[in-house]
């Protein structure tokens, strides 16, 4: 059982951001704070294990060193957080911090190479001139030395405290990031919903081709089993790619492969010149991405666009197509978050949509509330594709009207999630909430998947009792006549 208060430790970590607020833009200080958290965690784990081994081997440093050499990470002497904290007043502290991080990368090349690439603690352009920069770095080191931010396993126990802190910070950064939030974070309840809908099994391989910071991927993996699964992902943004890898390590994930690059133009999850296949493919890709690589699609070496090439200015079906092509034949499942235009837009998208339906790949269309995602108020939908589908019908679920309103953000509670998942699993029509459509009905609708075409949410207004209304008007007019008469009497008494 953890001996720390999760809320308190979250608050301490968030308070460390005060050192940079108003000085460094949010996108940059996010990287510094998350790297510091990772660094502190590595240092606390190393110190904790070293102390335990010293006790176990009666202070035999040689045996302790051999045991430490088998740790998940290596932490070279002088590169740990506490060594830098002791030097926090040195005039070249920024350079010393850079050297320490470089030493950590060098000692963990296979796991950490490039993870700290976007962070420069000696940057004048980002952290200010030498004197101001040194003050900020000293404060930052002191913030993370707070006794309440003790991340030793012997203190925080087996609970995922450090992973929760990282997730908490990512969500706070996303709420402040506006439109850019979607580039690196999927709201926790949406991730949980996808995990429950896809229901991965123990031992599954799970992939997110636009994985951002990895939160969605981790939640889906955890739904399969606490540890027995393999995670794969690709992320185009170098900074976010680094955040994702740190997120994996902080959640105790070792069986993962996260590639850096453009999934549509240059998929990196390849083996023997073929796209890798996965049991579960899940993503919250960028909505209607412009310039996604349309001009190169006809010559795609992996033949992903055999159903048609999506329009140049909207890459939604490019991601959907890629995901379906990388799902395991006969058993693979795909869950993808999309804007509603994907459901009904015509031309090239309409042709692709028709082929996906005729191939009996589409299993569910689920409408979500507006204002659910950071940085955009537009409503989205979840599409579920299933390569092991045994019947031809599609379940449509309109979950857009059921949510908890929290200021400018809509929230799906666990009860909302449970209703969606149970409806999907039951795969039956529910009045004003869900509809099980046959292939013929979808064809009759010209393969338009717009949810209101299938789920009738119209509420009839109660019939108006005209006679009753007339009587009520007459009664009110009678009362008004009496009031006017009394008023005239009062006015006469007053001589008015």
Domain borders along the chain are 6-176, 179-453, 464-496
Better-predicted residue by pLDDT, 259 or 486: 259
Check pLDDT > 90 for residue 257. yes
Q: What value does the CA radius of gyration of the chain take, rounded to a whole number of Å?
A: 29
Contact call for residues 106 and 114 (beta carbons, < 8 A) = no
- DSSP, res 35: H
Mean pLDDT value across residues 388-408:
89
More confident residue, 298 or 496: 298
Tell me whether residue 175 is exposed, middle or buried, using C-beta atoms within 10 angstroms of its C-beta: 0 to 12, 13 to 18, 19 or more: middle
Closest CA to 34 of 217, 171, 182, 230: 171
Which pairs count as long-range contacts for 125-128, CB under 8 Å and 24+ apart, including other chains? 126/24, 126/28, 127/23, 127/24, 127/94, 128/23
Phi, psi of 173 (to 5 degrees): -65, -40
Least-confidence region, from 355-359, 365-369, 377-381? 377-381
Report the side by side order of strands in the sheet with 205-208. 256-260, 230-235, 205-208, 280-283, 333-339, 380-386, 362-367, 394-398, 434-437
Q: For residue 138, what are the CA distances in angstroms to 20, 23, 43, 47, 169?
A: 12, 15, 18, 22, 21
- Return the residue matching tokens 């059921």: 402
Reply yes or no on domain 179-453 having CATH 3.40.50.150.
yes
Q: Is residue 331 scored above 80 in pLDDT?
A: yes
pLDDT (average), residues 92-114: 94
Residue 180 has pLDDT above 60, yes or no: no
* pTM of the predicted protein model: 0.85
* Per-residue confidence band for 2, with pLDDT thresholds at 50, 70 and 90: very low
For residue 379, list its beta bridge partners: none
Domain at 6-176: CATH architecture: Up-down Bundle (1.20)
Residue 178 scores a pLDDT above 80: no
Given a contact cutoff of 8 angstroms between Cβ atoms, the answer to whether 284 and 186 are in contact is yes
Q: CA 325 to CA 276: how far, in whole Å?
A: 9
Model pLDDT for residues 350-364, shown as the tens digit of each residue: 999 999 999 999 999
For 265-305, the pLDDT digits (tens) are: 999 999 988 999 999 999 999 999 999 999 999 999 999 99
pLDDT band at 159 (very low <50, low <70, confident <90, very high): low
Q: Which of 279-283, 293-297, 377-381, 465-469 has the lowest mean pLDDT?
A: 465-469
Q: In which band, very low, low, confident or very high, does the pLDDT at 254 lie, cut at 50, 70 and 90?
A: confident
Average pLDDT over residues 50-71: 94
230-235 and 256-260 strand pairing: parallel
Q: What is the mean pLDDT of the segment spanning 162-178?
A: 74
C-alpha 151: how far from chain center? 24
- Of the pLDDT bands very low, low, confident and very high (cuts 50, 70, 90), residue 165 is confident
* Cα–Cα distance measured from residue 266 to residue 293, given in angstroms and rounded to the nearest whole number: 10
Average pLDDT of every residue of the chain: 89
Domains 6-176 and 179-453 share a fold: no
| Cβ contact 221:254 at 8 Å | no
Nearest to 194 by CA among 256, 286, 282, 322: 282
CB 454 within 8 A of CB 462: no
């Amino acid at each position: 059982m953890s001996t720390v208060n999760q809320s308190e430790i979250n608050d301490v970590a968030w308070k460390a951001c005060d050192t940079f607020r108003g000085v460094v833009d949010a996108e940059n200080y996010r990287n510094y704070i998350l790297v510091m958290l990772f660094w502190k965690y590595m240092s606390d784990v190393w110190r904790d294990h070293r102390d335990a081994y010293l006790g176990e081997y009666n202070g035999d440093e040689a045996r302790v060193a051999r045991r430490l050499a088998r740790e998940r990470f290596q932490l070279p002497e002088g590169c740990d957080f506490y060594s830098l904290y002791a030097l926090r007043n040195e005039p070249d502290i920024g350079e010393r911090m850079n050297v320490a991080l470089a030493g950590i990368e060098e000692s963990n090349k296979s796991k950490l190479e490039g993870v700290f690439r976007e962070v420069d603690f000696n940057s004048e352009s980002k952290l200010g001139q030498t004197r101001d920069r040194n003050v900020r770095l000293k404060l930052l080191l002191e913030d993370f030395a707070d006794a309440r931010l003790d991340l030793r396993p012997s203190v925080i126990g087996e609970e995922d405290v450090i992973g929760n802190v990282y997730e908490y910070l990512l969500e706070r950064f996303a709420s402040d990031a506006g439109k850019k939030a979607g580039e690196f974070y999927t709201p926790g309840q949406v991730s949980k919903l996808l995990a429950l809908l896809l229901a991965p099994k123990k031992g599954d391989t799970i992939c997110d081709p636009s994985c951002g910071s990895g939160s969605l991927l981790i939640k889906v993996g955890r739904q399969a089993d606490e540890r027995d699964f393999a995670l794969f992902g690709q992320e185009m943004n170098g900074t976010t790619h680094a955040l994702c890898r740190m997120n994996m390590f902080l959640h105790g994930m070792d069986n993962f492969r996260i590639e850096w690059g453009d999934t549509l133009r240059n998929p990196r999850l390849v083996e023997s010149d073929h796209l890798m296949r996965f049991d579960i493919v899940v993503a919250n890709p960028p909505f209607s991405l412009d310039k996604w690589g349309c001009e190169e699609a006809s010559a795609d070496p992996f033949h992903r666009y055999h159903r048609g090439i999506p329009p140049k200015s909207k890459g939604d079906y490019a991601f959907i197509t890629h995901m379906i092509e990388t799902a395991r034949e006969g058993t693979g499942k795909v869950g993808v978050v999309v804007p509603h235009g994907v459901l009904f837009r015509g031309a090239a998208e309409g042709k692709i949509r028709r082929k996906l339906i005729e191939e009996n790949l589409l299993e569910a269309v689920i409408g979500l509330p507006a204002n659910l995602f950071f940085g955009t108020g537009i409503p989205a939908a979840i599409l579920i594709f299933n390569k092991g589908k045994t019947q031809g019908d599609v379940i449509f679920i309109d979950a857009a009207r059921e949510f908890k309103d929290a200021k400018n953000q809509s929230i799906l509670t666990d009860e909302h999630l449970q209703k969606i998942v149970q409806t999907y699993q039951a795969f039956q029509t529910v009045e004003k909430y869900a509809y099980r459509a046959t292939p013929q009905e979808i064809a009759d609708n010209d393969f338009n998947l717009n949810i209101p075409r299938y789920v009738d949410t119209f509420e009839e207004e109660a019939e108006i009792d005209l006679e009753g209304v007339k009587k009520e008007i007459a009664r009110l007019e009678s009362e008004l006549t009496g009031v006017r008469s009394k008023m005239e009497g009062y006015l006469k008494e007053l001589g008015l």
